Structure 1
Amino acid sequence: MSYIIGSDVVRYACTCGILKPISKLYFCRHCLEVRCGFCVCHEVDSHFCGKCAENLPSSEARLKKNRCGNCYDCPSCHQQLTTRAATVGPKNPEDPKATPRKVFYLLCLLCRWSSRDVGIPDQSAVSGGWPERENIHANRLQEIQDMYKGIVLLDKQQKLEKDKKKQRRYMSFTDRTGITASMLRKRVGLPDIPHPLLKPKPKEPEPAVAKEDVEELPEELLTKPVNLCEVTTMEQRLVQPEWQPITVEKLFPIHKQLSVKRSQRCRSCEHNVSKPEYNPNSIKFKIQLFACFHIPEVRIVTVEPLRAGKTCELLLKFSNPTQHQTVITFLPVTLEMEETKISEQVTEDKSVVDDYLLEKKQPLSLTGTGSQPSSLLHASLSRQPSITVKPRPIAVPVVADITIPTSTFILPPRDDAAEYDDSGDTHNIQDDSKLVIWRKSNKAVVKLQVTPKEDLKIGDEVVAGFTMQHIYVNTITTVDNKEPQKCEHKVKVFVTLGNLVGSE
Structure 2
Amino acid sequence: MSYIILPDVVHYACTCGILKPISKLYFCRHCLELRCGFCVCHEADSHYCDKCAENLPSSEARLKKNRCGNCFDCPSCHQQLSTRAATVGPKNPDDPKAAPRKVFYLLCLLCRWSSRDVGIPDQAAVSGGWPERENIYAHRLQEIQDMYKAIVLSDKQQKLDKDKKKQRRYMSFTDRTGITASMLRKRIGWPDVPNPLLKAKPTELNNKAIAKEEVEEFPEDLLTSPVNLSLATTMEQRLVQPEWQPTTIDKLFPIHKHLSVKRSQRCRSCEHNVSKPEYNPNSIKFKIQLFAYYHIPEVRIITVEPLRAGKVSELLLKFSNPTQHQTSITLFPYKVDDVIACEDNRTEVISQSSEEKGSGSQPSSITHTSLTRQPSITIKPRPIKTRVVADVVVPNASFVLPPRDDAAEYDDSGDAHNIQNDPKIVVWRKSNKAVIKLQVTPNSDLNIGDEVTTAFTIQHIYINTITTVENKEPQKCEHKVKVFLTLGNLVGGS
Task: Give TM-score, length-normalised by structure 1.
Answer: 0.86
- More displaced, 141-150 or 115-124? 141-150
The 5 A counterparts of 1:387-466 are 387-466=377-456
Is residue 2:201 matched to residue 1:201?
A: no
Structure-2 residue corresponding to 1:145: 145
CA distance in 2, matches of 1:458, 1:366: 35
Q: Name the counterpart of 2:115.
A: 115
Change (3 A) 1:154 1:473: farther
- Does the 8 A contact of 1:337 with 1:391 survive in 2? no
The one-letter code matched in structure 2 to 1:121 is P
Residue equivalent to 2:358: none
Q: Is the 8 A contact 1:90 1:100 kept in 2?
A: yes
Counterpart AA for 1:237: R
Judged with a 3 Å threshold, the aligned counterparts in structure 2 of structure 1 residues 89 and 228 are, in CA distance, closer, same or farther, namely same
Equivalent residue, structure 2, for 1:261:
262
Paired with 2:175 and 2:53, the residues of 1 have a C-alpha distance of 61
Q: 1:167 to 1:483 in 2, by over 3 A?
A: farther
Q: CA distance change for structure 1 residues 390 and 139 in 2, over 3 Å: closer, same or farther? A: same
2:225 corresponds to: 224
- Structure-1 separation of matches of 2:390 and 2:171: 76
Show the 5 A alignment for 1:205-216. Answer: 205-212=205-212, 213-216=214-217
Secondary structure in 1 aligned to 2:429? strand
Measured at CA, do residues 486 and 163 of structure 1 come closer, stay the same or move farther in structure 2, by a change above 3 Å? farther
| Number of residue pairs aligned between Structure 1 and Structure 2 | 473
Task: Give the secondary-structure state (helix, strand or coil) at the position aligned to 1:364.
Answer: strand
Identity among equivalent positions (%) equals 73
Distance in 2, Cα, partners of 1:70 & 1:172: 53
Structure 1: where are the runs of 5+ without partners?
Answer: 341-359
Aligned to 2:349: 364
Q: Compared with structure 1, are the counterparts of its residues 168 and 319 closer, same or farther at alpha carbon in structure 2 (3 Å cutoff)? A: same
Counting only pairs closer than 5 Å after superposition, residues 98-109 of structure 1 correspond to structure 2 as: 98-109=98-109
Which residue number corresponds to residue 97 of structure 2? 97
Tell me which amino acid in the other structure corresponds to 2:372.
S
Larger mean Cα displacement after TM superposition, 167-176 or 458-467: 167-176
Distance 1:42 1:195, change over 3 A: farther
Aligned Cα root-mean-square deviation (Å): 3.3
8 Å Cα contact 1:363-1:371 kept in structure 2: no
* Displacement after TM superposition at 1:198 (Å): 7.1
Partners of 1:422 and 1:171 lie apart in 2 by 81
SS of 2:380 mapped into structure 1: coil
Equivalence map 1:46-65=2 (5 Å): 46-65=46-65
Whether the 8 Å CA contact 2:339–2:349 is kept in 1: the answer is no
1:302 aligns with 2:303: yes
- Distance verdict in 2 for CA 1:170–1:211, change over 3 Å: closer
Rounded Cα–Cα distance in structure 2 between residues aligned with 1:173 and 1:43:
42
Residues 352-402 of structure 1, C-alpha deviations (whole Å, 9 max, x = no match):
xxxxxxxx9433378888663x6x344322xx4321112222111111001
Query: Contact conserved, 1:303 with 1:313, CA < 8 A, in 2?
Result: yes
**Does the Cα contact within 8 Å between 1:303 and 1:314 map onto a contact in 2?**
yes
Q: Deviations over 1:172-195 (max 9, x none)?
A: 99989xxx779xx9xxxx9x9998
8 Å CA contact 2:303–2:316 kept in 1: the answer is yes
CA distance in 2, matches of 1:92, 1:278: 50
C-alpha spacing 1:26/1:479, structure 2 compared with 1 (3 Å): same
Are 1:467 and 2:486 matched, yes or no? no
**SS at 1:464 equivalent:** strand
Shift in Å, 1:463: 0.7
2:270 paired with 1:285? no
In the other structure, the counterpart of 1:379 is: 371
1:150–1:202 contact (8 Å) kept in structure 2: no
Q: Does 1:13 align with 2:17?
A: no
Contact 1:154–1:199 under 8 Å retained in 2 = no
Residue by residue over 1:261-315, the C-alpha shift from the partner in whole angstroms, topping out at 9 and shown as x without a partner, is 1111111111111111101111111111000000000011111111111111111
Shift of 1:207: 2.9
Alignment correspondent of 1:4: 4
Change (3 A) 1:487 1:159: farther
Preserved CA contact (<8 Å) 1:337 1:392: no
Indicate conservation of the 8 Å contact 1:123/1:130, yes or no: yes
Task: Quote the residue 2:359 is aligned against.
Answer: none
Give yes or no for contact 2:144–2:206 (8 Å, CA) kept in 1.
Answer: no
Q: Aligned partners of 2:171 and 2:101: how far apart in 1? A: 81
Does the 8 Å CA contact 2:338/2:480 hold for their aligned counterparts?
no
1:362 maps to a residue whose letter is T
Instruction: Measure the CA separation in 1 of the matches of 2:403 and 2:41.
Output: 32
Cα distance in 2 for partners of 1:243, 1:160 equals 40
Flag the 1:172–1:418 CA change in 2: closer, same or farther, 3 A.
Answer: closer
How far the C-alpha of 1:423 sits from its partner, in A, is 1.0
Do residues 480 (structure 1) and 470 (structure 2) align?
yes
Q: Which amino acid aligns with 1:329?
A: T
Match of 2:491 in 1: 501
Q: Map of 1:168-187 to 2, 5 A cutoff?
A: 168=169
Change (3 A) 1:244 1:311: same
Question: Would the aligned equivalents of 2:8 and 2:21 in 1 still touch at CA under 8 Å?
Answer: yes
Deviation at 1:482, TM superposition (A): 0.9
State the distance in 2 between where 1:263 and 1:208 align.
Answer: 47
* Alignment-derived partner of residue 330 in structure 1: 331
Task: Write the distance in 2 (CA, Å) between the matches of 1:301 and 1:218.
Answer: 69
1:81-133 residue CA offsets vs partner (Å, 9 max, x unmatched): 11111111111111111111111111111111111111111111111111111
Structure-2 change in CA distance of 1:365 and 1:5 (3 Å): farther
CA distance in 1, matches of 2:6, 2:145: 50
Partners of 2:338 and 2:211 in 1: CA distance: 65
Output aligned runs, 1:152-167, within 5 Å. 152=152, 162=163, 166=167
Stretches of structure 2 lacking an aligned partner (at least 5 in a row) = 354-362
Q: Does structure 1 conserve the Cα–Cα contact (< 8 Å) formed by 2:170 and 2:176? A: no
* Contact 1:32–1:370, Cα closer than 8 Å, also in 2: no
Contact preservation (8 Å) 2:370, 2:468: no
1:157–1:7 Cα change, 3 Å: farther
